[in-house]
Structures are given as C-alpha cells and as structure tokens.
Structure 1
C-alpha cells in the first residue's frame, strides 16, 4: 500500500503505466495535512474529564484542538493538532520551536505556572518521504466513484488498499484496515 501523497508525487513509477482512470483518481483526490504533537507532562494540570480541549487562536489553526489522552489512559498526555497552512508551517520548525509554540498556547489557557513536557512525539507528514501527506479527502469534483476507481485492481495482478481507497471510512485507520481486508480478498479471488 502506498500513501496517496506518494502516488501523487510520482515517487514510485509503474511499468507499464497505470490505466488513465487510475491515474485520474490518484490526482483528483485531495491529500491533506494534519500534524500532531503528543506532549507528556509530569502531571495533568488540565481537567481530567473532557475528551477534547478547544481553543480559538488569533492565528487560524494554531493549536486549536487538543485530545485529552488522560481521559482514556490515565497518563498525563495531551495530543495537539495543527492542520492546513499552520500544520504546513510547523514542518520546517525544530521540535523545540514547536513545543515552545504549543506551550505558549497552553499557558494562555491554563496559566504560566504549568510545567513543560518531559517527553514528546511530533509528526511532519508532508516532509516524510514515505507519506508525503496525512489523509485523503474529497476534493471538489470527486465522489465515491473516484475512490472506487483508485481501489480497482489492475489486470488482476496489481491491488490497491489504504484509507484513500475506502468508500465508507476514508481518512481513518479502520478504513485503511478494512481496505486491506478487501484487497486481500480480491487477491484470493484472483489466484
């Protein structure tokens, strides 16, 4: 399975070339960006119960949503999201700069006394040569038929899976998984 961004950038070549309908589907769907930062703190300084913490920033998209992982795991971890142009801007920043930016927002919400994180993980999906983007989306002019064309096997020998091929659950892990099951069944049917 190759991510849609990798296919769109032509990072992999096919010989013979993919059928025109497949190429059209690859280039018609959108490949979006949603970068994430998991920040682990010495202790939870935020309310334990809400699943999501929302913030309306002056800069659109700047740390506007946080998933409270303490709610699910009991671990003092917040997962911050940055989409679109702000997520793209952060791709070039160092981890230290990203964390400082996130902490600026969290200190605006919770006050200057909150601790710094003691561990973190940060994604840079657009810069990752194995991804070149995060999730697919329905671009203008696309529909379920576009995803169906992307998912269609080529000559009973080349099969496609991944979240971008899922008609029912695109842009999700379970959609990717279910598409893998579908592709495996197609392979078995072609043996």
Structure 2
C-alpha cells in the first residue's frame, strides 16, 4: 500500500469518527490528500465526508479541498447532496461557489437529480442560484423529462412555467410513479 493510501484511510477514520481537528491536521500534514482520489472506493475525502457530517464537509472546504472535486462517476458533492435531497448541505455548499451546472459522467447535473428524485425545494433553490433548467444528459433527457416520470404534478407545472423543455416523447406518468408510493423517503 502506498503512503498516500495509508494517509487517506487514516483521514477517512477521522471523518467516520467526526474527529475534525485530527482530520484537518492530517490534510495540512499531507496536502495531496485535498485532491486525492482513492481508486478502490471511487471517492475523495470530500465525498467520504458527505456521508458523515456537514461539519466535516465544511471543514475540508474551509481548508482548501476543491468544491467541484468529482468522484468516480464524475459527481460532485453538490450533485450528491441534490440526489439525496440534502438541502441543508446544498445551502452550505453554495457559499463556496461550486459549478452549479457541473455534469457527471452521465451528463446529469444537481438540478436534473432534483427533478428525477422529486426534490422540489432543492430544484427551486438550485434554480434561484443559477442552475440551467434545460441541460441534456447523455441519454438525451432533460430535467423536465425526468420530472415527467418521477415528480409531482405541482413540480412538473413549475418546471414548465419557468421554461422547462422536453426532448423525449414518452408519456407523463401518473403520480406517484408505478414503483414508488408517496410515503417512500
């Protein structure tokens, strides 16, 4: 195992245990960790921290970890927070000026994930902060195409009212979608 992998794993333990002071000391001692990508997990420290605590994410960002560092799928922490509806984290991340329209390897953005996951408040927040609403992913779909399949009628109507366009021709699905109930979280 290379030394950098060893330091990365140790930093991950600090993240898991929310030992922020030790984490920051580790990245100051080994600055390459700030942008290091661990191939076995497909993640960087900022992505590992996303699954631990907002405090860890913010501490890493405040200490020079790049906001738009992608994981192995090309997703940034903003995309990840959008895909799980973590509006609290997204609001914190915006302060660090991320590329709000960053596309992952599949051409998906934070906004398109919000639409695909029926995260209406997240989508409105991203839109208010400059998210493009008509990006086209690698499959040819737009955020409205995703919303047509997965979002509430109110969400769909809002997207159309702000200029959302469709590229696909599939029919609108009933709400909730076939394999999802309203109670699903």
* Coarse TM-score class (shorter-chain normalised): under 0.3
What is the TM-score with the length of structure 1 in the denominator?
Answer: 0.24
Whichever structure has more helix as a proportion of its residues is 2
- In our comparison, the structure showing a higher alpha carbon Rg is 1
**Could you say which structure has the greater relative contact order, defined with CA pairs below 8 angstroms and 6 or more residues apart?**
1
What is the TM-score with the length of structure 2 in the denominator?
Answer: 0.25
Whichever structure has more strand as a proportion of its residues is 1
